[in-house]
Amino acid sequence: MDVLKTLAFPPSVEHYHLLLLIGALISIVFYPYFGFLLGASFFSYRYEKKGRKEGNPLYLRLAKDLIGTALYNKTLPTFLALLPAFSIIFVYAQLLQTTDSIAVSLACSGFVLLLIALAFLYAYKYTFRLGDILEGYSDVLKKGKGSSDTILDIEHYSEDNVRSHLRFGRNGLIFILLATFFMASSIVAAADSDNWIRVSSVLDLFILPDMYVRFFQFIALAAGATGIGLLFFLFWWKKEQPLEDEYAHLVRDLSIRLIVGSLLALPALVLLGFFLLPGQSMSGTLFAVAGLGVALLFLSAQFVYAYAKEPQPHHTASALFVFAFALALFGANDQVALYNATKGQAALLSYRHDLETEDLRAKLGFVGVVLTGEDIYNGRCSACHLFDQKKIGPAYKDVIPKYAGSKEKIMAFVLNPVKMNPAFPPMPNQGLKPAEADSIVCYILRRLGTGIVKSSTPAVTQK
């Protein structure tokens, strides 16, 4: 699916920030719902099998309520899962074009697997209903002393339906777990610029510790979302549901166990994820957003504790909204890490965008003033840098070799300078356009005799 990267247009700086904003908004709706769908699918199938094995109608009722709530109608998975997953592919294709990252391919695979999983899970849900219809029809025939052959046929159809029903549930669960793996791996492959080169196939993911951390974050997220979602939709949304019957106790016990496990695991996994992120993906904003998310998890735990002490439906509503907002912050945190990892990439893409824009302007007959790299050096750079000796900043002959003659890496630094050498003050951002940065970098490389003699289009300033 890397062909999507070749079809993407290089974004401007404004477009780049818009893409990150879109990614953050996607996460706000995708993370909570996908977590609930994953958890509901797993526990629905688990209690379905357990209920049929033990002949427990409460387990079967719980299995039906879980999948029926997660897939209440086709609008929910379409707008809260499929469209966000497809949008993630679009964002990655735009941000990671020209890189070797396989994040786009991983996200595409996750989307396809999610689509297949939803097809199986909807079949699983509808065969639940068909089973009820066949069972009810069989009971009516038995009470009305219907034909024995007809009753046997109905029972045969019912047995076939149960087998198909369990097969749909099992396949849906397998595919949604695979979708979870690929969606998690796409985030890992995108949010760490080292992984753009290090991860060249799916097999490479299995040796990355941050891949396992991210996958288990999704599992912990799913457990919490399922537990709180059960309490909310069965005891607050359906206000006619009794609070003190045997089924209510079963649901509450399961929900509280899931929530407690999730609230204990998620903060630890988030903290562990920080230790595995590279330095270029870290920032104060990353810690602030994650810290606020963890704080909201503990606030959600307080509402759950209040509900456990005194089962009042409004506690479940408060816990759900706070927990969902915490998950949305964790999703936004991924976009912050992606922003930190793609700063240099954004500068290069913006450079390509400006080159294409300038080429279009030239074709349309716009007249501009051409600035050479030497003009830019004499006007701005020479105040701090010389070629052969230190000044306010280091000599070019000492720092340029560190980039191994890569013009793109030097341009990325010029367009987005960061402090590298503690012996010198940080370089201020000169506000150069990509084309201007290209001109000055080519000029420096020619003066140093690196063998780079061909410059891109000279910097052009419009009149």
Q: Are 275 and 360 part of one and the same domain?
A: no
Q: What b/e sequence results for 34-52 when a residue is b if at least 16 CB atoms lie within 10 Å of its CB, and e otherwise?
A: bbbbbbbbbbbbbbbeebe
Quote the pLDDT of residue 86: 92
Number of helices and strands in the chain (H, E): 18, 2
Answer whether 218's CB lies under 8 Å from 186's CB.
Answer: no
Give the sign of the dihedral formed by CA 335, CA 341, CA 345, CA 347: positive
Same domain, 198 and 215: yes
Tell me: do 432 and 358 sit in the same domain: yes
Site of tokens 């526990």: 43
Same domain, 299 and 400: no
- Residue 112's pLDDT is what? 95
The per-residue pLDDT for range 28-51, each reduced to its tens digit, is 888 889 999 999 999 999 999 998
Check whether 457 has a pLDDT greater than 70: no
- Claim to verify: residue 332 and residue 360 sit in the same structural domain: no
Higher pLDDT, 17 or 144: 17
Note the pLDDT of residue 182.
94
CA-based end-to-end distance of the chain: 42
In this structure, what DSSP letter does residue 429 have?
P
Structure tokens at 284: 């104060």
User: Do 270 and 356 lie in a common domain?
Assistant: no
pLDDT value for 216 = 92
What confidence score (pLDDT) does residue 352 get? 76
* CATH code assigned at 431: 1.10.760.10
User: Are the C-beta atoms of residues 155 and 136 closer than 8 Å to each other?
Assistant: no
Q: What six digits make up the tokens of 217?
A: 């974050």
pLDDT tens per residue across span 136-177: 655 555 555 555 655 565 666 777 778 888 899 999 999 999
Euclidean distance between CA atoms 4 and 61, whole angstroms: 44
Is the pLDDT higher at 64 or at 313?
A: 64
Q: What is the pLDDT of residues 352-383, one digit of tens each?
A: 777 777 777 767 766 555 567 888 888 888 88
Boundary-marking domain end, from 341, 372, 394: 341
Structure token digits, residue 327: 């998950």
- CA neighbor of 72 nearest in space, from 237, 183, 235, 231: 237
- Residue reference for tokens 């408060």: 318
Task: Give the model's pLDDT for residue 130.
Answer: 75
Token pair of 252 as six digits: 């509450």
The answer to whether 301 and 252 have CB atoms below 8 angstroms apart is no
What is the average pLDDT across 289-317?
Answer: 84
| Exposed/middle/buried for residue 207 (C-beta within 10 Å: 0-12, 13-18, 19+) | exposed
Please say if the pLDDT value at position 445 is more than 90: no
Residues 6 or more apart whose Cβ sits within 8 Å of residue 58: 51, 246, 247, 250
DSSP character for 81? I
Residue 191 has a pLDDT of: 84
Among 63-67, 333-337, 434-438, the minimum mean pLDDT is found in 434-438
Note whether 333 and 383 are same-domain residues. Answer: no
Instruction: From 32, 57, 28, 62, select the one nearest 45 (Cα to Cα).
Output: 62
Please tell me the predicted confidence (pLDDT) of residue 183.
92
- Same domain? 352 vs 337: no
**How many domains does one find in the chain?**
2
Residue 417: helix, strand or coil by DSSP? coil
Q: What is the pLDDT of residue 31?
A: 86
A 10 A CB-CB count for 426 gives 12
Least confident of 147-161, 308-322, 444-458: 444-458
Residue 2 in tokens: 């890397």
Percent of the chain topping pLDDT 70 = 86
Question: Which of 295, 313, 341 is a domain's end point?
Answer: 341
pLDDT of residue 462: 44
The type of residue at 242 is: P
Structural tokens at position 262: 């999730």
**What is the enclosing helix (H) or strand (E) of 461?**
strand 459-462
Does 376 share its domain with 284?
Answer: no
Same-domain check for residues 395 and 372: yes
For residue 118, give both structure tokens: 């939803």
| The two three-digit tokens of residue 208, written as one number | 């990355």
181-195 tens-digit pLDDT: 999 999 888 888 888
Bridge partners of 370?
Answer: 460
Q: Provide the pLDDT confidence category of residue 430 given band limits of 50, 70 and 90.
A: confident
From 341, 372, 396, the end of a domain falls on: 341
Residues 318 and 377 in one domain: no
Which is it for the CA torsion 303, 305, 311, 316, positive or negative?
positive
Going by C-alpha positions, the residue among 82, 267, 275 that lies closest to residue 183 is 82
Q: 325 and 364 in one domain?
A: no
Give the pLDDT of residue 46: 93
Q: Which residue has the tokens 């230190």?
A: 390
Question: What is the rounded CA–CA span in Å between residue 18 and residue 165?
Answer: 44
Residue 452 has pLDDT above 60, yes or no: no
Which tokens in the block code for residue 204?
A: 């490479």
Is it the case that residue 319 has pLDDT exceeding 70?
Answer: yes
Q: Give the domain range for residue 420.
A: 346-462
DSSP notation for 101-139:
--HHHHHHHHHHHHHHHHHHHHHHHHHHHHHHHHHHHHH
pLDDT of residue 42: 94
For 295, the token pair is 């704080």
Least confident stretch, 90-104, 246-260, 436-450: 436-450
pLDDT tier, 451 (very low <50, low <70, confident <90, very high otherwise): very low
Mean predicted lDDT score pLDDT of the chain: 81
Range with the poorest average pLDDT among 51-65, 216-230, 400-414? 400-414
> Structure tokens of 119?
């097809």
